[in-house]
Structure formats: C-alpha cells, structure tokens
Amino acid sequence: MSEREVLELLRENARYSAADIARMTDLEEAEVEATIEELEAAGVVRGYQAVVDWDKLEDERVRAEVELNVTLDRETGYDDIAERLARFPQVKALRLISGDYDFDMEVEGDSIREVSQFISEKVAPVPEITQTVTHYVMTSYKENGIELGDGEGDDRLSFSP
Amino acid sequence: MTFELSDRVRTVPPSGIRRFFEIAEERDEVISLGVGEPDFATPWAARDAAITSLEQGKTSYTANRGKRELREAIADYVADRFELGYDPDEEILVTAGASEAVDLAFRAFVDPGDTVAIAQPSYISYEPGVIFAGGEVLPVPTREEDDFRLTVEGLEAAGAADADMLVLCYPNNPTGAIMPAEDLEPVAEFAREHDLTVLSDEIYAELTYDGEHTSIASFEGMRERTIVFNGFSKAHAMTGLRLGYALGPADAIGAMNKIHQYTMLSAPTTAQHAALEALDSCANEVQEMVDQYDRRRQFVLSRFREIGLDVFEAKGAFYCFPEVPEGFTAEEFAEEVLREQGVAVVPGDVFGDGGEGHLRISYATGLEDLRKALNRIEAFVEEHV
Ligand SMILES: Cc1ncc(COP(=O)(O)O)c(C=O)c1O
C-alpha cells in the first residue's frame, strides 16, 4: 500500500522530497505528491517539525512532563478539559492515558520559573484538575524516534571486502 | 634474518583496496560507499544473548562442529528459507565466518594442480584461497549483457568443462547480480555433466529483492556435489562476531571439520549464542533491514540513471555496479572521485575479470549520506565528463 510506505518515509525524514520518495519506491513522483496531498488534506499528516537536541544550543529550553489527575462531572468530560489545556501554546503534547493518572502533558518554556508559573497559574486552577505532578526533563536521549547526543559514529573501515 | 616466503604467499598480490584506504585516511569528511558490511548494529536480542552468555561464564570451547542447538537451528532455518535439507549432526559445520568455511573447502578439496573455475567478478578471497591451497584459478568472466549471470556458454568459453571445481557467489559481491532458478538449472546440469564440485557462497541469500533466492544445491543431483556457505555477517549484521557455516554431504563436511578442529577448534562461543538468538527471534529485524536496503537500492539506481552513468539493475546483496564514464579507467575514477569529492568507491577490476570499467558502490550507508555522496559524484561527472 503506497500510503503506508509514503507515511513511513515521511516519518523517517519529512524532508525527503517527492522525488526522493519516488526514487526509493515503485511510485512515480506525481503519485507521491498526490498521496502526500491527500494525506495532508485528510488530516492524517498534521504537520512537519524539526527534531531538536536542545542540549546542543546555548539558549536552553526548559521542558517538563506533567501528570494530571482530574475528576469528571456530568457536564465536563475528558475532551472538554483537554480542549481547554491544549489551547495553551506552552503545551506541546497532551495525551489521555491509562494508569495512575489521567493526562500526560508536555510543557515547554524559557525558564523553570516560566514553566512553574504556567502550571501553578494556568493549569492547577482548572477546577476539574485535582492534582498535578511536574517532572522537569533533565536530559533527552531520544525524541521522535531519533537518538540524540553525539551518536555512536561509524567505526567501520572506509573500505572492506 | 629474513623470512623466506613460500611461493604460495609470494604469488598472491596485495589487496587492490589498500592504496585507496590510505588516500581515504588522509582526507577529511569522506563518505564511504566502499564498505562491504552492514551499517546496522546486530539486532539487540542477539547482542543481549551474547552478553547473557558472557555473564553466565559460557566461555569455553564448543563442539568442533559448533553447538548442537545452533546446528539444529541452522538446519531448520535453511530448510524453511531455502528448501535445503541438512543433518545437523553430520552435514553442518559452524565456522569463524563464511571466510573460514571457504578456506576450509579449498584446503579440503583442492590438490596442487587442480583447477578451480571462479565466476567473476566476485568476492576477493576466492582466488587467494585457491592459491594458498596450491590450486590453479580459472576465471570465468560474466558479462553485463547477461546481467552478470553465469551461462553455460561462458563456462564453455572459459574452459570450465575441464576444471575440478566451480565457485559461485549469488547474490553477488560486487555486482549485486542474482541467479534465478531458470538460469541456475543449466549451470547445475553443466556441473553434473562435467563432474565439477561446486562451492556456492550464499551469504547474501536473504538480501534478494526481486523474488526468492534459490540455492544450486536444491537441484537434483547437486546436493551431493555442492558445499553451500552462509553466515551471519550480512543479513544479521554480525560481521565482527565472525560466525558462518558450511552445508554439505557428511564426508565432505567431515573432511572440512578435520582441518577446522586442528586450526580453529571451534567457532567463537559468544558469537554462537548470538547466532542462535538471531535465528530464533530476529526475523523481523532482518526483514526491516532488507526493506531499508531495498529502498536505498532503488534510490541509488535511480540517481545513477539521473547522473547519466549506465548502471546494472542489481537485485541482491547491498551493492550496485555502475559503469565509469569514457575517458576513465575504474581505478582512475575511484581515485579522483575520492581525492576531489571525498567519496570512497571500489574499482570493479579488483574483483576479477568482467569487473573492469565498473565501480562497486555499497549502499550499506544511511540515506542522507547516500544522497550527499551521489550529489558529489554528480558534481564530479558534470565537471569531468
Ligand atoms: C561473498 C562474500 N562471502 C563471504 C564474505 C565474508 O563473510 P564472513 O564475515 O562470514 O567471513 C563476504 C564479506 O564481504 C562476502 O562478500
């Protein structure tokens, strides 16, 4: 199935051009373009982003994983709470999960202060939220399937039989 | 005192790759397409099995022929994948890489003066192996017009009917050629008719992209005259663990084991544990690597066509074999593209008759590097051709 293959390749590297993808598959370039357009139009592909190793930059980003517990009532469901939280630009990812808590929220900011303030002033006061536990990210080793850090390097010889 | 080298050692020339290696060492930012080994790490489960075996102190010799469990797993694997039936007790020998198995076969079956026909271009170790064993090499060139497949006409023209042994390597290093069953059948018949022993190096068998791999040993009357080599270096990305195996009739494998038990004793034990796990549980990882190679193969072939270099439609292994443009020998092209553009490739004549005028390009390299390397080759061609 070509959709699946195109998606896999885009997930591997969104900067592969349609020509690159056509070269790697049995598809024509025009077919690849059309497939990508369809996937975008259908909302399957929602966007393209760079995978950044913040540790390599001077101006550090502060990131936190926040556990949220909520109580629901007749009027308010998970989706309502999620919708409200997802609007904040500081929230980079928000997922309803199974287990000890309800939502798993990734927050980003320029300083610890900014992130803490956001959680105490914007998130904690939401009436349905009963508990927040904030974990600051200290080092990231892998993001979006890509290993960060200095990489293992290729220690193969440049020629071998 | 100087050592008086044996004639056998003296007559083997140094490897043609060496000089390029030195140039590559001097230059920064070389992207290497000269590598004959996977860029993937060994599947984790196999590495873990090796680690566990070490933790448990499993560091003694195994049976000369290899751990029995591993031989059983190999028997099941080759039966399942390639329709080859071999008895783990007597017909399988586990070796330190397919390299050792190839060497054992030459030493076990070649007498001084025997003629060994080698389909070329092919992997560089066969010829020295024959010479070290005291035999004589008969090159059987294959041609691009025949898709680098071995033909009966080619065998006859080279005089292989009078040879004692025939060496095959399909999927092929360096061309990436495969031998589909219909092309293998007449070669099998030729071997039977002229009573040739056949050594079939099938280490790239899993890396076959169009259709299934067929072993020459699976044809009628061939099992009894063929030794099949395989191993874990390529498909299982285990080159450094040094593990391979030979399959053949009991008396032949027994003869090879006779040499093996005095020279190697047994293949590396840690690697045998890794290999067992690789066969047991890593089929998905192998498939993923094969899928990646296939994409890169298509990418590289398509880029060479765009660049305007004729390129053979490779269907196996992880090599492709473009022609160098007019005005260059393969060696000149390889040297200049390395010096000017920092791309390492291997000239095809290193691999014997039929390889002249070609380059071996390995796509066991990530796509980003392949893309860069091919852009550089394109720039080189635009400037000089
Ligand atoms: C055709 C062929 N046979 C055998 C080998 C060596 O394999 P091993 O690592 O199992 O000794 C290679 C390695 O490049 C090869 O290309």
Q: Check whether residue B156 and residue B240 sit in a common domain.
A: yes
Q: Check whether residue B66 and residue B181 sit in a common domain.
A: yes
Asked whether the beta carbons of residue A158 and residue B17 sit closer than 8 angstroms, the reply is no
Residue at a domain's end among B255, B281, B307: B281
Contact B91, B248 (CB under 8 A): yes
**A152/A150 Cα distance (integer angstroms):** 7
Could you read off the pLDDT of B204-246 as tens digits, one per residue? 999 999 899 999 999 999 999 999 999 999 999 999 999 999 9
Q: Is residue B268 part of a domain?
A: yes
> What's the structural domain count of chain B?
2
Q: Check whether residue B334 and residue B370 sit in a common domain.
A: yes
Could you read off the pLDDT of A64-84 as tens digits, one per residue? 999 999 999 899 999 999 999
Residue B347 CA to ligand 1 center (angstroms) comes to 18
**Does CATH number 1.10.10.10 belong to domain A1-42?**
yes
The interface pTM score, or ipTM, of the predicted complex is 0.87
Q: Check whether residue B154 and residue B288 sit in a common domain.
A: no
Q: Is residue B2 part of a domain?
A: no
Q: Check whether residue B266 and residue B292 sit in a common domain.
A: no
Q: Ligand 1 in contact with B230 (CB < 6 A)?
A: no
> Which residue segment(s) compose the domain that B167 sits in?
44-281
Q: Is residue B22 part of a domain?
A: yes
Residue at a domain's end among B225, B254, B281: B281
Q: What pLDDT does residue A106 have?
A: 98
Q: Check whether residue B140 and residue B182 sit in a common domain.
A: yes
Asked whether the beta carbons of residue A159 and residue B30 sit closer than 8 angstroms, the reply is no
Q: What pLDDT does residue A100 have?
A: 96
Q: What pLDDT does residue A152 have?
A: 64
DSSP label of B14: P
Asked whether the beta carbons of residue A158 and residue B21 sit closer than 8 angstroms, the reply is yes
Which residues of chain B have a CB within 8 Å of the CB of A26? 298
Summarize the confidence of residues B86-95 as an average pLDDT.
98
Listed in sequence order, the residues at least 6 apart from A23 whose beta carbon sits closer than 8 Å to its beta carbon are: B298, B299, B302, B303
- Report the SS3 class of residue B235: coil
pTM for the model stands at 0.93
**B134/B8 Cα distance (integer angstroms):** 7
pLDDT band at A154 (very low <50, low <70, confident <90, very high): confident
Architecture of domain A54-143: 2-Layer Sandwich (3.30)
Amino acid at B180: P
- Measured from the Cα of B100, ligand 1's closest atom is 11
| Helical pair B367-384 and B330-341, crossing angle rounded to 10 deg | 110
| B159 has a pLDDT exceeding 70 | yes
Rounded percentage of chain B residues whose pLDDT exceeds 70 = 100
Same CATH topology for A1-42 and A54-143: the answer is: no
Summarize the confidence of residues A76-96 as an average pLDDT.
97
Q: Check whether residue B78 and residue B34 sit in a common domain.
A: no
How many CB atoms neighbour CB B265 within 10 A? Answer: 12
Q: Check whether residue B294 and residue B243 sit in a common domain.
A: no
Asked whether the beta carbons of residue B302 and residue A160 sit closer than 8 angstroms, the reply is no
A78 φ, ψ (degrees, to nearest 5)? -55, -40
Q: Is residue B1 part of a domain?
A: no
Q: Check whether residue B134 and residue B65 sit in a common domain.
A: yes
CATH of residue B315: 3.90.1150.10
Residue B345 CA to ligand 1 center (angstroms) comes to 18
Could you read off the pLDDT of A18-73 as tens digits, one per residue? 999 999 998 999 999 999 999 999 999 999 999 999 888 888 899 999 999 999 98
Residue A12's closest chain B neighbor by CA?
A: B367
Residue for token pair 């095809």:
B348
| B77 and chain A in contact, CB less than 8 A | no
Q: Check whether residue B51 and residue B140 sit in a common domain.
A: yes
| B1 has a pLDDT exceeding 90 | no
| A25 and chain B in contact, CB less than 8 A | yes
- Domain ranges for chain A: 1-42, 54-143
Could you read off the pLDDT of B38-47 as tens digits, one per residue? 999 999 999 9
| B299 and chain A in contact, CB less than 8 A | yes
- Report the SS3 class of residue B166: strand
Which residues of chain B have a CB within 8 Å of the CB of A9? 295
Q: Check whether residue B276 and residue B288 sit in a common domain.
A: no
Which residues of chain A have a CB within 8 Å of the CB of B355? none
Q: What pLDDT does residue A151 have?
A: 67
Q: Check whether residue B239 and residue B215 sit in a common domain.
A: yes
Residue at a domain's end among B251, B281, B311: B281
| A75 and chain B in contact, CB less than 8 A | no
Asked whether the beta carbons of residue B35 and residue A25 sit closer than 8 angstroms, the reply is no
Q: What pLDDT does residue B17 have?
A: 77
